[in-house]
């Protein structure tokens, strides 16, 4: 027995060395004198400090840091410092090695990055909104060195690739965080390859059935697609070379997640998604010919195939904020189907695949000012101490992960704003005072209100008035974080002044009623008038909403209030809820680690039914709510309030019915509704709650709310409805 273990360890040792050599090969292009020695030193330190640790799969722990370093080198294109940091990214957190040891061995820079990485995964109070705070701290470190985030992305990517051995609830939490935070971050940093893989891997765990279904479908038609691509590409290839361009032309499959998004967005089945792949033309051009060569290739493609004029995207003339440059067009292929063609040079492709950050040389004198501006924006957002972490996160997502539009000032300067920005956002982008006094704008010399949504390329002139000041409803008009925080602080200041005034009035009123003005009485008054804070009380008094007679009313009921005291929500834990409730209809669902029967309600946003993959979410006032794991709100709940998510699974003991909705589409035919209702009521003995039908020029569309037992029952019903003559599609929809 003993010898077998020794052989095993020997084989592992060989495997570790093999992986280490592969890492060195991957980083060869960036290695300079003495770098190899540094990497070896980091590898030895990591190997020694993790030597007794294993991953959930049973493999030696060292496999993980090597893999993260490999991703950083090969897929993001980072250099030696990052490889060293990736190898050591877990040692300070998991072993006895300190940051001082690392600084002594590898210098200040490396220690600083590892400190950043350790902070990101540091331990926070589990009951704070963990993810958002965590994320904010992560961005604070980004402001110093963007490599912290890139290595963190490499770490997350490797964890997602190797998540099979994790317990299901951990998989759900990590996948939710990934789709909610890390994939958009990779997108914003221009790491498209990594973004797509993170989205696909998240989907594999959050919605395994759809993921497997699309993967299987893609696989079935693989050979047919390859043949189509070959035929499509051949003539392009030929003419490109005839014209003296050096180019690589090939087809690239779209990610499963993006195909699923398209199916959802357009509400179409898999068979109707045409762009399952994109054709790429990668040109080898000298820097000065890049733009001309891209348009030359575009001209060749559109001579061969007819383009869709609405689908031309030119990011060569004005690149995206994250440095992405490419020319996209959609053309009609030989078999009457639309094909997306992406044209770019090798340099542009490098930026698209590995991200803008790969070209960031961490030097002050860098010309790449796009990333500088980006980090500046992040700094601006982080320096606003007011923002609550969750608001901050939403603002951050909106601003840094959305598509940009370019707006011109009257003098022709270019200002970049997120898609959906309004004239008021533009005003605040120019200067806080311009925003605060804005009463309207001229867009392309036409007068528009402050809520006007700007379009790409608009020229905007802001009109101001000294009498104008920020209003509460402005917060619904703006989308940029900068404008929001400036409006909020201005309103706060305004409110503070009104409250000061109200405080004096209240003091006088209480004096006249012979009530002592003290904190206790003010708190009681706020509670009586159901106001969230004493400031609100002062504001209401100042605005005349609370008068002397109202305060007299309070006096008469004061005794009752004293006895009752303010109500506090129970602790947000499963135990807190268990102590409050007795069983109920809970036989059907088991909840929590020990799978107990606890009362729950089904979330109306996704109407789960038995058989759906579900989780429980502890709400503040309504006990436990059950959501589907692929519910539109699931990723946000799991990523932000992981500590309030509990396991839940169906217990098949009771024949209960659950409400769900079906959308039926078809060709209108005599007796169609009769046939549909017959299948539902007679064959399946299912009760219908409501049916709405709309026919338009021979097309039938119906929505039916029905009661079913579980997903199996529902699937059989859908199969039989599809057999009804004239019915072309049946899909379940969330209420």
**Beta carbons of 698 and 644 less than 8 angstroms apart:** no
Q: Strands of 247-253's sheet, edge to edge?
A: 247-253, 277-283, 338-345, 327-332, 313-314
Residues 371-378: contacts with CB under 8 Å, at least 24 apart = 371/146, 371/323, 373/321, 374/188, 374/321, 374/322, 374/400, 375/142, 375/143, 375/146, 378/139, 378/142, 378/143
In three state form, how does the secondary structure of 288-332 look?
HHHHHHHHHHHHHHHHHCCECHHHCEECCCCCCCCCCCCEEEEEE
d(CA 529, CA 510): 15
d(CA 496, CA 500): 6
Cβ neighbours of residue 23 closer than 8 Å, sequence gap 6 or more: 39, 66, 69, 70, 73, 83
**Beta carbons of 709 and 658 less than 8 angstroms apart:** yes
Backbone angles phi, psi at 723, to 5 degrees: -80, -15
**Beta carbons of 399 and 422 less than 8 angstroms apart:** no
SS3 648: strand
SS3 content of the chain, % helix, strand, coil (to 5): 55, 15, 30
Tokens of 7: 């052989």
Question: Measured between alpha carbons, how far apart are the two ends of the chain, in Å?
Answer: 60
d(CA 548, CA 403): 54
Q: Strands of 699-708's sheet, edge to edge?
A: 688-696, 699-708, 658-667, 727-733
What are the DSSP calls for 672-685, one per residue?
HHHHHHHIIIIIS-
- Tell me, yes or no, if 669 is annotated catalytic: no
d(CA 154, CA 142): 15
d(CA 343, CA 328): 6
The H or E element containing residue 70 is: helix 63-74
- Tell me, yes or no, if 144 is annotated catalytic: no
d(CA 64, CA 165): 14
Tokens of 335: 């078999």
**Beta carbons of 525 and 554 less than 8 angstroms apart:** yes
User: Please, which residues bridge with residue 688 across strands?
Assistant: 706
Four-CA torsion 180, 181, 184, 189, nearest 10 degrees: 180
d(CA 425, CA 460): 11
d(CA 394, CA 21): 42
**Number of neighbouring beta carbons within 10 Å of residue 552:** 10
Choice among 35, 74, 93, 368 that is catalytic: 93
Choice among 15, 59, 94, 404 that is catalytic: 94
Q: Which has the closest alpha carbon to 211: 164, 172, 257?
A: 257
What are the DSSP calls for 521-538, one per residue?
HHHHHHHHTT-SSHHHHH
The H or E element containing residue 628 is: strand 624-628
DSSP 8-state assignment for residue 647: E
Cβ neighbours of residue 531 closer than 8 Å, sequence gap 6 or more: 537, 540
d(CA 702, CA 668): 11
User: Please, which residues bridge with residue 3 across strands?
Assistant: none
d(CA 125, CA 389): 14
Q: Which are the catalytic amino acids? A: 93-94
């Amino acid at each position: 027995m003993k010898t077998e273990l020794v052989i095993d360890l020997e084989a592992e040792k060989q495997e570790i060395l093999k992986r280490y050599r592969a890492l060195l090969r991957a980083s060869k292009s960036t290695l300079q004198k003495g770098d190899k020695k540094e990497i070896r030193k980091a590898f030895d330190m990591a190997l020694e400090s993790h030597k007794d640790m294993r991953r959930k799969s049973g493999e030696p722990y060292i496999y993980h840091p090597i893999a993260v370093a490999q991703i950083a080198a090969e897929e993001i294109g980072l250099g030696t410092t990052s490889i060293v940091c990736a190898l050591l990214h877990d040692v300070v957190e998991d072993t006895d090695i300190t940051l001082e040891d690392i600084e002594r061995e590898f210098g200040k820079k490396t220690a600083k990055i590892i400190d950043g990485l350790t902070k990101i995964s540091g331990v926070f109070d589990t009951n704070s909104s963990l993810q958002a705070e965590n994320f904010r701290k992560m961005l604070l470190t980004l402001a110093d060195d963007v490599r912290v985030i890139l290595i963190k992305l490499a770490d997350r990517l490797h964890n997602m690739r190797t998540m099979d051995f994790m317990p299901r609830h951990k998989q759900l939490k990590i996948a939710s965080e990934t789709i909610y935070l890390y994939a958009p971050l990779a997108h914003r940093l221009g790491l498209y390859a990594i973004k797509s893989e993170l989205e696909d891997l998240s989907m594999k765990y959050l919605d395994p059935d759809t993921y497997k279904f699309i993967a299987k479908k893609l696989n079935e038609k693989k050979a047919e697609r390859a043949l189509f691509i070959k035929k499509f590409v051949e003539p392009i290839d030929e003419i490109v070379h005839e014209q003296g361009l050096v180019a690589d032309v090939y087809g690239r499959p779209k990610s499963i997640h993006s195909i699923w998004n398209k199916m959802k967005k357009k509400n179409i089945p898999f068979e109707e998604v045409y762009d399952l792949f994109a054709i790429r033309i990668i040109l080898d051009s000298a820097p000065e010919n890049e733009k001309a060569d891209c348009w030359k290739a575009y001209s060749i493609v559109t001579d061969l195939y007819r383009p869709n004029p609405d689908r031309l995207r030119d990011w060569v003339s004005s690149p995206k904020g994250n440095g992405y440059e490419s020319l996209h067009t959609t053309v009609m292929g030989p078999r009457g189907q639309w094909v997306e063609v992406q044209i770019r040079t090798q340099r542009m492709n490098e930026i698209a695949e590995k991200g803008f950050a790969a070209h960031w040389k961490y030097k002050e004198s860098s010309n790449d000012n796009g990333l500088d501006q980006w980090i500046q924006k992040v700094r601006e957002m982080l320096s606003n101490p007011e923002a609550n972490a969750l608001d901050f996160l939403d603002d951050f997502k909106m601003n840094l992960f959305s598509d940009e539009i370019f707006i011109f000032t009257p003098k022709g300067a270019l200002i970049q704003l997120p898609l959906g920005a309004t004239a008021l956002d533009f005003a605040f982008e120019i200067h806080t005072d311009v925003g605060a006094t804005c009463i309207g704008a001229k867009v392309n010399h036409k007068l528009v209100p402050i809520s006007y949504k700007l379009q790409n390329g608009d020229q905007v002139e802001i009109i101001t008035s000294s009498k104008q000041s920020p209003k509460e409803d402005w917060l619904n008009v703006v989308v940029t974080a900068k404008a929001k925080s400036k409006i909020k602080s201005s309103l706060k200041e305004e409110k503070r002044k009104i409250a000061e005034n109200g405080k004096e009035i209240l003091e006088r009123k209480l004096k006249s009623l012979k009530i002592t003005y003290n904190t206790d009485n003010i708190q009681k008054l706020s509670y009586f008038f159901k106001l969230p804070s004493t400031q609100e009380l002062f504001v209401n008094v100042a605005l005349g909403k609370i008068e002397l007679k109202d305060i007299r009313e309070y006096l008469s009921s004061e005794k009752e209030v004293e006895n009752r005291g303010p109500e506090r929500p129970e602790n947000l834990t499963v135990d807190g809820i268990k102590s409050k409730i007795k069983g109920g209809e809970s036989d059907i669902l088991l909840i929590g680690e020990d799978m107990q029967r606890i009362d729950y309600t089904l979330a109306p946003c996704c109407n789960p039914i038995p058989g759906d993959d579900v989780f429980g979410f502890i709400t503040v006032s309504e006990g436990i709510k059950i959501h589907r794991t692929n519910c539109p709100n699931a990723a946000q709940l799991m990523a932000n309030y992981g500590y309030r998510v509990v396991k839940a699974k169906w217990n098949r003991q009771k024949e209960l019915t659950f409400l769900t909705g079906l959308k039926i589409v078809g060709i209108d035919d005599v007796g169609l509704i009769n046939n549909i209702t017959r299948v539902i009521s007679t064959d399946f003995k299912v009760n219908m709650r409501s049916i709405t039908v709309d026919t338009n020029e021979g097309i039938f569309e119906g929505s039916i709310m029905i009661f079913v037992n579980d997903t199996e029952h529902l699937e059989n019903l859908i199969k039989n409805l599809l057999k009804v003559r004239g019915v072309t599609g049946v899909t379940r929809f969330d209420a």
